[in-house]
Amino acid sequence: MKFSVFKSSRDINFNKALIIDSDDHFKELIEGYCFEVGFEATDKYNDFESAWLNMQKTKYDLIIIDWSAKGSLAPSAFFNRLKLHPNFKNIAVIVCTGFKAKGDFRLVHEFPFTWVIEKPFPSALFQETLEEIATEMEWFKENKTKLSKLLKEVIDSPEKTEKVLASFVRTSKFPEKSGLIMGQALYAKGKYQQAELVYKSLSNLNRKNTASKNARKNTKFNLEFLTPYLHPLPKQTIKA
């Protein structure tokens, strides 16, 4: 179902939301916001562990999490599971926080299709945030073929990696997030050296980008210690 209240027609559909918060009042409030903008259904959970188990059998278009929710699984651990899992890493996420400096959640916001908003917030801000996420997702959808061709080019011709990807990252509408996606795709294919070059380009573009710095460290570790033994590195899976 398309958002009838959106300012413009979108090709990105949000039909079902997952809300995770230990505050029952807030869960009800957010559920109301979801229905206002056209969601057809929501599921609500008090803790991340229960929500994670349910995600194994239910498809969601948006996940809304309260960073202060309690439980055996911490919000940061849940978020890491999402972004590492091949089936969940591209789901839209809204992280709700109390009063925090922007820098505290810079790493979270650096990931694709992820937004951070401060509680409490009105319905209008919720809708505006969804607009921002939809714009980002729409751009990636429209440029999927271009991204795929670019990845194939650098995989087939490794010597072009740094020059071609650096040029694309500079001209992309979402340079840091698109670069992160490219690096992850190369990493998943065992192309660690090329992935490291992508993350290096991102670091040069923005030396404060924590996500690319962390990804580069992990990639360099594989280059230095694991590559001689693993060709390629076995695909990692996250178990609930």
pLDDT value, residue 1? 40
Task: State in Å, rounded, how far the first CA of the chain is from the last one.
Answer: 30
pLDDT value, residue 155? 75
* Residue 118 phi, psi dihedral angles, 5° rounding: -95, 135
Is this structure's pTM higher than 0.85?
no
Asked if the structure places residue 2 within a domain, the reply is no
207 pLDDT tier (thresholds 50, 70, 90): low
pLDDT value, residue 17? 96
The answer to whether the beta carbons of residues 118 and 98 sit under 8 Å apart is yes
149 pLDDT tier (thresholds 50, 70, 90): confident
Residues 136, 49 share a domain: yes
Residues 102, 204 share a domain: no
- C-beta atoms surrounding 90 within 10 Å: 16
pLDDT value, residue 229? 36
Residues 81, 170 share a domain: no
Beta strands in 119-214 (DSSP E): none
Residue after which a domain boundary falls, among 111, 140, 169? 140
CA distances to 41, 93, 178, 195 from 157, in Å: 46, 35, 20, 14
pLDDT value, residue 107? 65
pLDDT at residue 150 greater than cutoff 80: no
Mean pLDDT of 194-207: 68
Q: Which tens digits make up the pLDDT trace of 27-73?
A: 999 999 999 999 999 999 999 999 999 999 999 999 999 998 888 99
* Residue 115 phi, psi dihedral angles, 5° rounding: -135, 150
Residue after which a domain boundary falls, among 140, 173, 198? 140
Asked if the structure places residue 28 within a domain, the reply is yes
Residues 106, 91 share a domain: yes
Residues 131, 22 share a domain: yes
pLDDT value, residue 7? 43
What gap in Å lies between CA 42 and CA 26, rounded to an integer?
14
pLDDT value, residue 214? 54
Residues 171, 114 share a domain: no
What gap in Å lies between CA 145 and CA 92, rounded to an integer?
21
Altogether, the residues listed in the chain come to a count of 240
Residues 208, 101 share a domain: no
Q: Which domain holds residue 215?
A: 143-226
pLDDT value, residue 230? 37
Residues 153, 125 share a domain: no
Total domains in the chain come to 2
Residues 156, 98 share a domain: no
Q: Which tens digits make up the pLDDT trace of 1-33?
A: 444 444 444 456 789 999 999 899 999 999 999
